[in-house]
Structure 1
Amino acid sequence: MRYLKSSSTLFFVLCVFFCSARAQAELSQDELAAKTRGIELYNQYKAISARPKLKIAADAGDPEAQYYLGEAIRTNDKYMTAEAVSSYEAAALQGDIYSMIRLAGEKNDLCVVMKNCSKTRKEPGEWGKMASDTASARAAEGSAEAMYLKYRVTGDDKWLEKSAENGYVFSQYFLGIMYRQGHGHFLLPSRRAEAIEGLMKASAEGGYPKAMLEYGAILAEKNDYQGFRYWNKKAAEAGYAIAVFGYGSYLGEEKSEFGFTYDPINSYALLSVLLELDGGGGMVDLVNFKLPELSAKMTTEQISQATELAKKWADTHPPLSFFPDKL
């Protein structure tokens, strides 16, 4: 796919930038709260609960809410419905590249099968070109996220590498995972390991919770257990559900392999926090397996203290999330 070449396409891209910013700026406090809560629920694998919240902001014209609404519908219904397509299209026409990419990948649109597509329907290839052109324009302005999206459109690794170099924490993490899986060319295995560690460290320090756990695991392999404990705690404090479970479980071990101090009250509190994740992810089953084992070693007073601590943690930390990839 080519970069922007025509003034008409450039004009369109500038228009969608303006419309997107305008739509987001017009959300009321209630609409913004609904959008925020909807995305939180979606990131907890609660697509059904997320839909009505996201719809409030989507109906108000917010492109990000429209994208996530499309995702929630598609995830819940297991395929690309007409309702999901409509939500993606509304976001895409306001410049949302994620929605453009979703629409570009929909080769078997239901309306084609039913022979009832609207006359204004764009073909997947058109959405793909729009995604590429819009990503190119934003990448040229220095957006590292747009560089990542350019990679998703083209499959060209140089865009992923450029995005990582420019500090997009998800690209740093994702590129590190790709290198671990054998992508890229390194003369020595040690060079590959160094590259992976450097990317995970940069992503972790940039605040990406999944990378925090990955970097912590790398440090543990080097017997740096202090570093391992530090990054596990940081990832848990960022709201990463997997890390909350891991950190909470480590605190409940009387003899910790990694040097965690035995703290059954905080262990019980952290594990209890996870009980709200009654959607996907299987977290509640894991917690319900661990809590009885832990509570058997605790007094009634300790469990009461832990329950209060769980409430305080929930009030003072970011919402729990599995941090699923946006695409």
Structure 2
Amino acid sequence: MKIPLGTAAILWMLFNQANAQLSSEQQITKEQGLVLYSQFKAISAVPYLRAAADAGDSESQYFLGEAIRKSKRYITPEAQSAYEAAALQGDIYSMIQLARNADDLCVTMGNCPESRKEPREWLQMAKQHAGEQAANGNAESMYLMYELTADKKWLEQSAENGFALAQYLLGVEYREGGGFFLLSSSRAEAVERWMKASAEGGYPRGMMNYAEVLYNKNDLEGFRNWTEKAAEAGYTEGVFGYGYSLSGKYPEQGFPLDLVKSCALLSLLLELDGGGPAKDAAEYVLPKIKEKMTQLQITEAEKMSSAWKASHPPLSFFPFKLSR
């Protein structure tokens, strides 16, 4: 059962329409960089993103800044320049990161070039751009206004207007005790509503959280369905959850026993050597699964793993686009 999301689904929160026209080769390079970035391989992503950023692509410029900042743990001059280049093309995410950079050395020393905007100026610009777009009904900009103001009314408006990330975040907010509900059942209904909306909107984090909601309601068919969809979308948590469940580890979930497919899916996670728990978890459980398999089954699993990789979106942790 395939989700018609294609390669773009894996980077749902990372890809937007670029301002620059890239050649087909540059576009491929950009996508390679974004895939690596989404797998927590920031250092490896830099040269790919730099090539597309140098061609004037604002999205690549933003993620180049992000990849450098994450690998160096601070905003270097190159990252600053990348953010600025994207911001000057109207990228609000870049404006926000520049607004957060109060530790910039020239700001601290008070000797920034006259042409260099200070963080407060970027903040004002971000609010202006996001506010104008939100007023025109842009749900993503409503979410950005929430990030800029911490006013949860913006998060609610963004969710109501269909932005799947905002729907997921609002579900998390309610699940963790936010908002006011007279009855605990009303809170649970709100969590379910927004996780379902996010899942149906194609956001894999929402899919896995909605699957959990359904499991807690004893809707095992729905739980299995959304777990599989998250795996189909390339979400690492979904791939692990679906793959491990096929090993027979959790018979109460109702997944069929399929050691070959279990081994095939879990083996995919071994390429995730940039960070996150997925690779370590796969390395821990795979030997136990292979002990129950014949060599013929292991060979079949290797073929199935290659076929899955060729026909599905790349693996991704789906990191939040606006990270800290």
TM-score, structure 2 as length reference: 0.92
Partner of 1:227: 222
In structure 2, the residue matched to 1:38 is 33
Which residue is 1:118 aligned to?
A: 113
Question: What is the 5 A alignment of 1:1-327?
Answer: 23-24=19-20, 26-113=21-108, 116-253=111-248, 256-327=251-322
In structure 2, the CA distance between the partners of 1:255 and 1:22, relative to structure 1 (3 Å rule), is closer
Unaligned runs of 5+ in 1: 1-19
Summarize deviations over 1:28-61 as a string: whole Å, max 9, x none: 1111111111111101000011000000110011
- Give the partner amino acid of 1:266: K
Deviation (angstroms), 1:115 = 5.5
Segment drifting more, 282-291 vs 111-120: 111-120
| Residues 212-252 of structure 1, C-alpha deviations (whole Å, 9 max, x = no match) | 11111111111111111111000000000111011100001
Measure, in 2, the Cα distance between the counterparts of 1:178 and 1:290.
33
Q: Aligned partner of 1:230: which letter?
A: N
RMSD: 1.4
User: Could you tell me how far apart the structure 2 residues matched to 1:113 and 1:255 are?
Assistant: 55
Letter in 2 for 1:142: G
- The 3-state SS of whatever aligns with 2:19 is helix
Partner-residue secondary structure (3-state), 1:257? helix
One-letter amino acid of the counterpart of residue 323, structure 1: F
Residues in 2 aligned to 1:144 and 1:293: alpha-carbon distance in whole angstroms:
46
Q: Structure 1's 256 and 212: CA in aligned 2 closer, same or farther, altered over 3 A?
A: same
Q: Structure 2 counterpart of 1:23, which letter?
A: N
Letter aligned with residue 277 of structure 1:
L
Shift in Å at residue 94 of structure 1?
A: 0.4
How many angstroms apart in 2 are the aligned matches of 1:174 and 1:33? Answer: 31
Distance 1:251 1:21, change over 3 A: closer
Aligned 8 A contact 1:47 1:73 in 2: yes
- Following TM superposition, by how much is the alpha carbon of 1:114 offset from its aligned partner in structure 2, in angstroms? 5.4
Larger radius of gyration: 1
* Comparing 185-194 and 207-216, the one that deviates more: 185-194
Shift of 1:117: 2.3
Alpha carbons of structure 1 residues 300 and 61: separation in structure 2 relative to 1, 3 Å? same
Distance 2:157 2:102 in 1: 29
Q: Which letter does structure 2 place at the counterpart of 1:154?
A: T
Extract unaligned runs of 5+ from structure 2. 1-15
Normalized against structure 1, the TM-score is what? 0.91
Query: Does structure 2 retain, via aligned residues, the 8 Å contact 1:255–1:262?
Result: no
Q: Is the 8 A contact 2:107 2:118 kept in 1?
A: no
Q: Is the 8 A contact 2:18 2:58 kept in 1?
A: no
How many Å apart are 1:281 and its aligned residue?
A: 0.6
Give SS of 1:207's match.
coil
Aligned residues: 307
Distance 2:277 2:249 in 1: 25
Q: Quick check: 2:34–2:49 contact (8 Å CA) kept in 1?
A: yes
- Which deviates the most, 122-131 or 249-258? 249-258
What residue in structure 2 maps to residue 14 of structure 1?
none
Instruction: For 2:130 and 2:279, locate their aligned partners in 1 and report how far apart those are by CA, in whole Å.
Output: 39
Secondary structure in 2 aligned to 1:311? helix
Alignment partners' CA distance in 1, 2:209 and 2:223: 9
Summarize the Cα distance change of 1:254–1:182 in structure 2 as closer, same or farther, 3 Å threshold.
Answer: closer
Amino acid at match of 1:233: E
Give percent identity, aligned residues only.
56
Q: Over residues 100-130 of structure 1, what are the superposed CA-to-partner deviations in whole Å (9 max), with x where a residue is unaligned?
A: 0001111111223456522211111110110
Larger mean Cα displacement after TM superposition, 125-134 or 140-149: 140-149
- Distance in structure 2 (CA, Å) of the matches to 1:243 and 1:193: 23
